[in-house]
A and B are shown apart, each in its own frame.
Chain A
Amino acid sequence: MKLWELTAHELLKKLAHQEISQEEILSSLSKRIEEVEPKIKAFVRIEKSKGFNGLPIAIKDNICIQGQPTTCASRILEDFKPPYDATVIRKLKDAGFTIYGTTNMDEFAFGSSCENSCYYPTRNPWNPEYVPGGSSGGSAASVASGEAIWALGSDTGGSIRQPASFCGITGLKPTYGRVSRYGLIAFASSLDQIGPFARDVEDCCLLLKVIAGHDQYDSTSANLPVPDYRQSLGKDIKGIRIGIPKEYFSLVKDSRFEGIDKEVKIVMEEAIAQLKRLGANVQEVSLPHTEYAVSVYYILATAEASSNLARFDGVQYGPRARGAANLIEMYKRTRQAGFGHEAKRRIMLGTYVLSHGYYEAYYLRALKVRTLIANDFAGIFKDFDCIVGPTSPTAAFRLGEKIQDPLAMYLSDIYTISVNLAGIPAISIPCGFNKAGLPVGLQIITKSFDEEMLFRVAHCYEQATLWHKMRPPI
């Protein structure tokens, strides 16, 4: 057994028994990185020379690390070195973690495939012809390929759960406000949340415990105690009431969206049968506004993004376009040269929906439909402990398959987006494979600040199956 193959909790046990040293873990990871990174391209930066003395972790390239390049995979932040640590980074450092690499992503987290990076696309460890998902594709691929034990990502509309699903690992989007966003470079401030990637549920628990909690520097972080999530492990789910949204299995509303893939549906039916065998009380439920979630999301997320990205103007950071005659021209040329296509498209859409004459028709209306979507969930959680369904309508798609059709790409987030709009937590765990040998993810959703329920159900399912033990053939 090589050390890079182990989970963090297995490694911690060996460290506690002094069977292994921190150096051995890191040298095992380094060897693995040398071996597979040329094929996967999960990282944008790897620190090589530093002395290591803590459990190594990989970090998405949009979380500020003091004095180290943090670029959101964008040319407009080329060479940006944050003057401070994000709160999650400070917490990791205080807990003795070593940050040895930053991972690739879609530029500013705009994307579902990791193809919108200014560096290069990341590949899916299960098959390099396929995308790892996005936007946190590098973090997911690094954990799945054994280049990282665990990693942090961010999730605005599915950017942790969808790549976790595509790469066959576990990924959690915590409740909005559970984890401080201070130092996370903002995409859509009312939706963004930092969360863990790991190879099993127990590691996910451990990592959430480290990063969660109230923070004076983030006024939207919740002032609530952080439970000992490990207490949720090893429990049964007898009598747990699980709702299965019928819309997640039947929705066919747009010519570009074919609904749930047949093979994903078969895998999902088996996963639900397993939950029943474990004693859960499974019933069909309805989330009637599901079909509006993508529209609401692409209005609100782009509106917030257009505002958040206004700060990238060549004044405080990043390269500045030369030769402009005046300030406005300097802004325009800097932004034209610095942003990639998808970033421009989203800034444009966000500016459009906020502009004079459209604000009420789009932005305000979307905020109201957001209320309806949140109410759908709240209604169900009166009678159910959690909701279960697919994380994504398909397994990983091929590189290049959706890059020319932005709307088709947006629709691949249909099951994850409404969770961010409602601010509730959800986890994606591996639950099988399609015929092409690509992983399929099971999404478990619950009410605000009840991550313990997610861990309980996810762990019980995981321990009854072997999906989390499967490793990509690289």
Chain B
Amino acid sequence: MAISRDDVAKVAHLARIDLDEEELKLFSKQLESIVEFIDKLKELDVSGILPTSHVLGLTNVVRPDIARDSLPGEAVLSNAPASSKGHFLVPKVIE
């Protein structure tokens, strides 16, 4: 399947990456060849086969409901590029 520069730009927007023009072109070529390769899976009949999202088959794993210490706020914020009054600081979202 052909993947155009514009298709790549659309996916890049979804993935929140500001790809440059060179990358858009390079990735359209490379993704096309990778997608062509993975299309191989279409050869197989998978009707009636259940999907495996997880090999252990565990569901709803819970620990005992006992309160325990959390990380201190300062530790959590210590790597943030911007923080204020115990919160992460981001550019204005609501005008």
Q: Which of A's residues lie within 8 Å of B, judged by CB?
A: 79-81, 83-84, 176-177, 190, 216, 219-220, 222, 254, 289, 291-292, 294-296, 298-299, 306, 310, 313-320, 324-333, 335-336, 339, 341, 344-345, 347-349, 351-353, 355, 361-362, 364-372, 374, 406-407, 410, 422-423, 448
Contact code string B1-40 (vs A, CB < 8 Å = 1, else 0): 0000000100111111111100100010011011101111
Interface contact A339-B17, CB-CB below 8 Å: yes
Taken together as a complex, chains A and B put the C-alpha atoms of A9 and B66 apart, in Å, by 40
Answer whether residue B67 sits at the interface, using C-beta atoms and an 8 A cutoff: no
* A410 CB, nearest partner CB in chain B, Å: 8
Interface contact A335-B91, CB-CB below 8 Å: no
For A332, list chain B residues within 8 Å (CB).
Answer: 13, 16-18
Q: A327-B93, A368-B50, A374-B52 are in contact. Are A320 and B81 (CB under 8 A)?
A: yes
Taken together as a complex, chains A and B put the C-alpha atoms of A318 and B54 apart, in Å, by 31
Taken together as a complex, chains A and B put the C-alpha atoms of A347 and B31 apart, in Å, by 11
Interface contact B41-A295, CB-CB below 8 Å: yes
Q: A327-B91, A344-B27, A422-B55 are in contact. Are A254 and B34 (CB under 8 A)?
A: no
Taken together as a complex, chains A and B put the C-alpha atoms of A317 and B34 apart, in Å, by 32
Contact of A219 among B41, B49, B58 (CB under 8 A): B58
Q: A219-B61, A318-B81, A327-B90 are in contact. Are A296 and B41 (CB under 8 A)?
A: yes
Contact of A423 among B34, B56, B79 (CB under 8 A): B56
Taken together as a complex, chains A and B put the C-alpha atoms of A374 and B55 apart, in Å, by 9
For B71, list chain A residues within 8 Å (CB).
Answer: 83-84
Contact of A295 among B11, B18, B38, B50 (CB under 8 A): B38
Interface contact A406-B17, CB-CB below 8 Å: no
Q: Number of residue pairs across A and B with beta carbons under 8 Å? A: 164
Contact of A81 among B17, B30, B58, B79 (CB under 8 A): B79
Interface contact B61-A81, CB-CB below 8 Å: no
Known: A316-B80, A326-B91. 20 other contacts (CB 8 A): A81-B79, A83-B75, A83-B79, A220-B61, A292-B41, A310-B16, A314-B81, A315-B90, A327-B90, A329-B91, A345-B31, A348-B17, A365-B42, A367-B51, A369-B49, A374-B55, A407-B33, A410-B34, A422-B55, A448-B55
Interface contact B33-A369, CB-CB below 8 Å: no
Q: Which of B's residues lie within 8 Å of A, judged by CB?
A: 8, 11-20, 23, 27, 30-31, 33-35, 37-42, 44, 46, 49-56, 58, 61, 63, 71, 75-76, 78-82, 88, 90-93
Contact of A407 among B34, B52, B76, B82 (CB under 8 A): B34
For B34, list chain A residues within 8 Å (CB).
Answer: 298, 349, 406-407, 410
Taken together as a complex, chains A and B put the C-alpha atoms of A367 and B56 apart, in Å, by 14
* A239 CB, nearest partner CB in chain B, Å: 29
Interface contact B44-A292, CB-CB below 8 Å: yes
Which residue of B has the minimal Cβ distance to A339? B17
Taken together as a complex, chains A and B put the C-alpha atoms of A128 and B76 apart, in Å, by 41
Interface contact B15-A351, CB-CB below 8 Å: yes
Interface contact B56-A317, CB-CB below 8 Å: no
Contact of A298 among B15, B38, B50 (CB under 8 A): B38
Taken together as a complex, chains A and B put the C-alpha atoms of A410 and B34 apart, in Å, by 10
Chain A interface main SS type: helix
Taken together as a complex, chains A and B put the C-alpha atoms of A410 and B27 apart, in Å, by 16
Taken together as a complex, chains A and B put the C-alpha atoms of A349 and B51 apart, in Å, by 20
Q: A369-B46, A374-B52 are in contact. Are A319 and B14 (CB under 8 A)?
A: no
Interface contact A220-B31, CB-CB below 8 Å: no
Interface contact A351-B91, CB-CB below 8 Å: no
Which residue of A has the minimal Cβ distance to B20? A336
Interface contact A362-B81, CB-CB below 8 Å: no
Nearest 9 A-B pairs (CB), nearest first?
A: A423-B55, A367-B51, A83-B75, A317-B79, A320-B81, A332-B18, A219-B61, A336-B18, A368-B46
Contact of A330 among B12, B33, B56, B91 (CB under 8 A): B91
Which residue of B has the minimal Cβ distance to A297? B38
For B75, list chain A residues within 8 Å (CB).
Answer: 83-84
Which residue of A has the minimal Cβ distance to B28? A348
* B64 CB, nearest partner CB in chain A, Å: 9
For A336, list chain B residues within 8 Å (CB).
Answer: 17-20
* B47 CB, nearest partner CB in chain A, Å: 9
For A364, list chain B residues within 8 Å (CB).
Answer: 51
For B40, list chain A residues within 8 Å (CB).
Answer: 291-292, 295
Q: Which of A79, A295, A362, A369 has the most CB of B within 10 A?
A: A295
Interface contact B56-A220, CB-CB below 8 Å: yes
Taken together as a complex, chains A and B put the C-alpha atoms of A328 and B92 apart, in Å, by 10
For B20, list chain A residues within 8 Å (CB).
Answer: 336
A-B contacts, 10 of them at CB < 8 A, read A289-B44, A317-B79, A320-B81, A327-B93, A332-B13, A345-B27, A348-B27, A365-B46, A372-B49, A423-B56
* A31 CB, nearest partner CB in chain B, Å: 35
Contact of B11 among A291, A348, A362 (CB under 8 A): A348
